[in-house]
Chain A
């Protein structure tokens, strides 16, 4: 627990000293532009009409709430990936990896510390983004809070697993930019951030269904926009949980290899 809290505190201090406002504003702005872009397309191009297909696929006719919720979840995904996936490669670049790995460190605890700091920061960002999004038409028509909270917890588990896997890829390739942006682009395109995945070709939908973000979005929208309970969404919850556990197991196994490889990658 020491390494979790110590790493979280270290990150908070570093963030505040390095980017007092910039990073926070950057994330809010990204969310704002996605929402604003969707608003203009929805209002001007489609004159606030959605097709019957959209309603059937998404269980709602409220496109703006649909897309705003998608953007807010996407913010969580991006920040988790930025914090957790880049943690070891950032330590390598800053020259602190040896002092970290020479300590009897709980590596999972260290990554959880990075994640915890991100969750707290992103929650604040999401809260601000929610307020910004209200004038664009975000409506909480029928919210099932329990279902939404459980969805967030399971989603964070799966995002963590995915991030650790990406962390391994980044250390192997010694790259952050291409790796993370490729993943962001895939998630943005395939997971249903701005439109239901049923609009995608079948093969792309098969890929979407392997990414936990797809189920996170589906459950969150059903919980917040349609008020669906955990029981009514039990199949999606089980899939999300299984995906989360699988990604975490793969991530933790990969972490053992990463820890061995990180100091060597500095020489090669």
Chain B
């Protein structure tokens, strides 16, 4: 199990003040995070850009030494036993990095396998298995620079599994991928945890991905943890008062617009409207239950084609939480 307590990281930055003068500033990237990841569990790490997600992942993956706090992986200390920890972890990041573009898929996996000192026969078998797992067997002898973005990402997944790690850190693994490929990556991720018992720490900006995959989430902002729990718990606690109404109207007159503006203002809510397919789609977000007043107002002024009350989702919960923090 991965356990960290009060993990901290500061970056020293030299800021130019004139031509020769520089001033050192301290950027507190992570200000004391506690976390646990069990084998077979997918844990989400959420937050806005600059919240400290990547720094946290880099500390857990022994790439960066923490400045404070303590952490261990299966009883091994993050700093003292970094070399041993490296044998049971790996990282898969989004984008097209972390692999050598001039090498083929097979050469990449061979190289990384040798860095992990895998015996020759085991390495050969694992390369065959992984290339088949990510569907790159037919293209294994083509240099990576000729691959599509999705193929590179799939190779990254294979590279991240070359040492059969017990724990995997996935930093935006579906970043910039087309929907079908992103779905494939999600499928792999789920399989890795559920069937192969890997402990996975996942960061993503796609909240539906987190909701779909994660058993537990940590939400951080400006280097601090602001909430933790299962995605359902986070939604029910953080977005319990968030009501979202999705309405389709046949028409949207000026009179209705004025009445709706006044009403929305009076209940301190907000709405947006799209004209689509000869109809008007209205999305209203409110902290209050305004369903009955809304139906009365809209049906008196236009023909209501549909009216849906949408459950708040993780995205609503995160926005709410980060607004408060």
Q: Which chain A residues have a beta carbon within 8 Å of chain B's beta carbons?
A: 2-3, 5-7, 9-10, 13-14, 17-18, 94-96, 98-105, 260, 263-264, 267-268
Contact = CB atoms under 8 A, between A and B. Distances in A.
A95 B114 CA distance: 19
B143 A17 contact: yes
A89 to B, nearest CB: 15
Contacts of A268: 11-13
B165 to A, nearest CB: 10
A216 B313 CA distance: 69
B98 A95 contact: yes
A104 B103 contact: no
B55 A267 contact: yes
Contacts of A104: 83-84, 86-87, 115-117
A101 B100 CA distance: 14
B42 interface: no
28 contacts: A3-B115, A5-B114, A6-B114, A10-B100, A13-B102, A14-B102, A96-B100, A98-B58, A98-B63, A98-B98, A99-B91, A99-B98, A101-B63, A102-B63, A102-B86, A103-B86, A103-B112, A103-B115, A103-B163, A104-B83, A104-B115, A105-B115, A263-B58, A263-B63, A263-B64, A264-B64, A268-B11, A268-B13
B97 A96 contact: yes
A100 B115 contact: yes
A227 B45 CA distance: 68
B115 A264 contact: no
Given A6-B111, A14-B102, 8 more contacts: A17-B143, A98-B93, A102-B61, A103-B116, A104-B84, A105-B115, A260-B64, A267-B55
A12 to B, nearest CB: 11
A100 B112 CA distance: 8
Interface string B259-297: 000000000000000000000000000000000000000
Contacts of B77: none
Contacts of A94: 97, 100-101
B154 interface: no
Nearest to B110: A6
A170 B246 CA distance: 56
B114 A3 contact: yes
A121 to B, nearest CB: 16
B58 A2 contact: no
B98 A96 contact: yes
A95 B91 CA distance: 13
B241 interface: no
A187 B13 CA distance: 33
Given A2-B115, A267-B55, A102 B62 contact: yes
Nearest to A18: B102
A102 B89 contact: yes
Decide if the interface of chain A is mainly helix, strand, loop or mixed: helix
A96 B54 CA distance: 16
B159 interface: yes
Q: Which 9 A-B pairs have the closest CB atoms?
A: A95-B97, A6-B114, A99-B98, A103-B115, A104-B86, A263-B63, A14-B102, A17-B102, A2-B114
A3 B112 CA distance: 9
A99 B112 contact: yes
Contact of A13 (B63, B107, B116, B117): B107
A222 B323 CA distance: 75
A260 B65 contact: yes
B90 interface: yes
Contact of B91 (A3, A18, A102, A260): A102
Question: Which of A9, A13, A98, A103 counts the most chain B CB atoms within 10 A?
Answer: A103
Contacts of B116: 103-104
Contacts of A96: 97-100
Nearest to A261: B64
A183 B10 CA distance: 33
B29 interface: yes
Interface string B1-45: 000000000011100000000000000010000000000000000
A92 to B, nearest CB: 10
B229 interface: no
Contacts of A102: 61-63, 86, 89-91
Contacts of B101: 94
Given A10-B100, A13-B102, A263-B64, A99 B159 contact: yes
Contacts of B115: 2-3, 6, 100, 103-105
A225 B98 CA distance: 49
B126 to A, nearest CB: 15
B312 interface: no
Nearest to A10: B111
A95 B101 CA distance: 10
